Amino acid sequence: MAAPALKASYPLYLANEAKSPNQDLVVTDKFTGEVATRVAQADAATISAGIAACVEATEPMARMAAYERQAVLAHCVTRFTERYDELAMALCIEAGKPIRDSRGEVTRLIDTFRIAAEESVRMVGEVQPLDISPRAKGYQGMWKRVPIGPCSFVSPFNFPLNLAAHKIAPALAVGCPFVMKPASRTPLGALIIGEVLAETDLPKGAFSILPAHREGADLFTTDDRLKLLSFTGSPDVGWDLKARAGKKKVVLELGGNAAVIVDETISGADLDDAVERIIFGAFYQSGQSCIGVQRIVIHAKIYDELRDRLVAKTKTLIAGDPKDEKTFIGPMIDVKEATRLDNWIQAAAAGGARILCGGKREGAMLEATLVEGVGRDAKLYAEEAFGPVAILSRFEDFEAALDEVNDSKFGLQAGLFTRDLFRMLTAWDKLDVGGVVIGDVPSYRVDNMPYGGVKDSGLGREGVKFAMEDMTEIRNLVIRRR
């Protein structure tokens, strides 16, 4: 059965209710460039009204029983499952994400809400003995977690469903009302989530999902009525938002230029597996992932063989219409981004790098590209590529390979293919990243794990349980017994 077509237009959600004040935001099919649908866009007055409603909902949300919060999240799981094909096709169209990747993201959306439903009834605290010295004899302490209050969420274009879910689901699990600004280029996923939430009995004002252009969306950052800002996006924007956020707590997930090391202990079937996983990590959803493989660091003994096999595999990847089941490489989000990355590739080549395969662009379509010999001062090495390109380098000393991975202003995740237990532990100790993935690429993530980075990659951790901790405060109780 064919997936339902997009609607002609989509409303925004203000204080739980669908509103269509206009149809000013045009959403394009990222492959064809044609208008796919139109979306209502919020102005500053609407955003302020959403925040005011969010504040009014703070107490009713905090009073919700755990089973009531769980029921809302369980309803979402059921409805997302029922609308699976619709969600996947909407994502495929608005983001240009190959349909197989789109289905995978819908699965992760469902997983994230399911995990949140489970965690919503586990808001536990702790009994703490305080009688650590004679002056505290007879005193006992307890603490519990309480919702932080109104939250502001800003989500990016590359995972319109799952990265919205990683903000919304934990907020519902702990009882925080929220306002959300989805990415202007890919707002549909968040709006469909809003449509499902509107079917529930959440208190009025519990959520507002408000597409808006960046220029008119300052209130999401600066309004003092909000107690937490969670932003996923580019480092330049994220750190600027943090500087303007005032007293609110700020959580940032800002991307990186992730590296994977393959050492000389990898051979035979292990090498076959490494090829498959590295190609996936570098090129899934056209490389537009903040933990996509950008740097491949290979031991000199296996460099030539692994390079040749990676090139051969890359050349087999099918590029084209993301709605085609066979497509692996779809368009980048727009021509501007594809042109930027194409320029970086050509600049690296002009600086002495060698393009091993790919390197050609047509509109928003950029070929899957492998490059070797890239200088460390090149943007293709030092910055976040965020597209279908990866660079290869060789090493002989394992410690030097770790240093090369750390030679970055980013630190989100890193991968390591090795059979050496001591190297695994050394990498875990020395790599300055938020997570080390052994036997796989840095692109691997499960939605209940702690996820986030250090350095310019951000602040705080996602993953439902860990996001819930960010969205709560500890409230202490001290009892004196006489």
Q: Give me the active site residues, please.
A: 253, 290
Identity of residue 299: H
For 225, the token pair is 């009525």
Among residues 311, 236, 314, 309, which one has the least CA distance to residue 270?
Answer: 309
Task: List residues bridging with 365 in a β-sheet.
Answer: 362
Q: Print the SS3 string covering the chain.
A: CCCCCCCCEECEEECCEEECCCCCEEEECCCCCCEEEEECCCCHHHHHHHHHHHHHCHHHHHHCCHHHHHHHHHHHHHHHHHCHHHHHHHHHHHHCCCHHHHHHHHHHHHHHHHHHHHHCCCCCCEEEECCCCHHHCCEEEEEEEEECCCEEEECCCCCCCHHHHHHHHHHHHHCCCEEEECCCCCCHHHHHHHHHHCCCCCCCCCEEECCCCHHHCCHHHHCCCCCEEEEECCHHHHHHHHHHCCCCEEEEECCCCCEEEECCCCCCHHHHHHHHHHHHHHHHHHHCCCCCCCEEEEEHHHHHHHHHHHHHHHCCCCECCCCCCCCCECCCCCHHHHHHHHHHHHHHHHCCCEEEECCCEECCEECCEEEECCCCCCHHHHCCCCCCEEEEEEECCHHHHHHHHHCCCEECEEEEECCCHHHHHHHHHHCCCCEEEECCCCCCCCCCCCECCEECCEECCECHHHHHHHCEEEEEEEEECC
Task: List residues bridging with 370 in a β-sheet.
Answer: 357, 390
| 454 vs 258: CA distance, rounded Å | 12
| 470 vs 178: CA distance, rounded Å | 14
Alpha carbon 430 to chain centroid, angstroms: 25
The backbone torsions φ and ψ at residue 347, rounded to the nearest 5 degrees and listed phi first, read -65, -40
What is the total residue count of the chain? 482
